[in-house]
Structure formats: structure tokens, C-alpha cells
Amino acid sequence: MIEVLAGVIAGLLIVAGVVVMMGPNAKGLLNRVGMLRRRRPSLSVFQPARSREVATTGLNPKTQRVLVAASRLGSWLRAHNHEEIARALRSAAGRITSDEPAGLYAMQTVLRRVRALSLDDGGAQERLKALSNELRDAVQDRFEQLELLPFRRP
């Protein structure tokens, strides 16, 4: 019995010595060993994926609506090789989160550029028009809510 106790104590002292010799690296090694032990198949594979929100929480719902519409239009523009306008749209959306009135005015400027865009495909032109109208309506609603004038409907 004493021999077993002495063996356990000797083993613990050896492990403690190795941990002391490893120094600061011991914490990372212990974390990795803990991760290996915790890996078990989870049931999350069988659960539906959670949808991610596009807009930042804490913003006004109409501002979120503007950002969602801008995201849709920007994705469509990137998919159809209009990178420059999509980049300007992302920049305007970024400005909305920091300085909302300036971002809305920038968004209005980008919408003018989108309106001047002409495509050969009729279906693509209709989709572009629908997405830009959705964004224009959202921007106009937010302009009216903030009472930023002048904003005219074309």
C-alpha cells in the first residue's frame, strides 16, 4: 500500500517537474489536452443553421432596413461585375453606422449612379431596378423620419 502511494506521489512530482520546465507554454498545452478530451459529436449537426443578421443591432429599424437593402443591392452588383458601384455602396453603408446623415446623403449619391447604369439583359435590368427602388424607398423613409431636407422623389 505504501509502495503504491509512493509511486503516485513520484508520478505527480515528475508531471509537476515537466510542467515547471515547460514554463509559459504549459498553459497552451493544457488547453490543447482539454480540447482533445472535450471533443464529442454534438447534435448541432442535426439542427438547422442559425441565420446571421446583416444589420447591426442597436440601430433604428428603418436604418437597418436601409442597410439590408444596400447589402442586397451590393451583392447583386458584385455578382454582375459592377465592383466600383458596389464598393461605393459599401462605403456609404459604413458611413451610415458612424454618421447617419452623411451616410444617407452618400447613399443617395450612389443611387443616382445606379439609376444611370444600363444593362443589356432585360431581366437583369428589372432586378436592378427593383433592388434600387427598394433601397431608394428605405433611404427616403429614413430621410423623412430624421427630417433631413431637401429630399425629392424623382
The answer on pLDDT for 108 being more than 60 is yes
Least confident of 2-6, 24-28, 118-122: 24-28
In whole angstroms, give the CA distance from residue 143 to residue 135.
Answer: 12
* Cβ neighbourhood burial of 8 (10 Å; 0-12, 13-18, 19+): exposed
Q: What is the pLDDT of residue 73?
A: 92
**Residue 54's pLDDT band (cuts 50, 70, 90):** low
Which position has the higher pLDDT, 100 or 57? 100
Listed residue (135, 130, 112) closest to 66, CA to CA: 135
Q: What is the pLDDT of residue 121?
A: 86
Listed residue (59, 81, 62) closest to 137, CA to CA: 62
**Sequence ranges of the domains in the chain:** 2-41, 61-146
Q: What is the pLDDT of residue 100?
A: 87
Torsion of CA 109, 55, 63, 86, to 10 degrees: 10
Q: What is the pLDDT of residue 42?
A: 57
In whole angstroms, give the CA distance from residue 41 to residue 19.
Answer: 30
In whole angstroms, give the CA distance from residue 83 to residue 122.
Answer: 20
**Residue 12's pLDDT band (cuts 50, 70, 90):** very high
The answer on pLDDT for 58 being more than 80 is no
**Residue 43's pLDDT band (cuts 50, 70, 90):** low
Q: What is the pLDDT of residue 19?
A: 78
Give just the sign of the alpha carbon dihedral 119, 124, 126, 130: negative
**Residue 9's pLDDT band (cuts 50, 70, 90):** very high
Instruction: Please state, in angstroms and as integers, the Cα–Cα distance from residue 81 to each residue in 86, 92, 146, following that order.
Output: 9, 19, 34
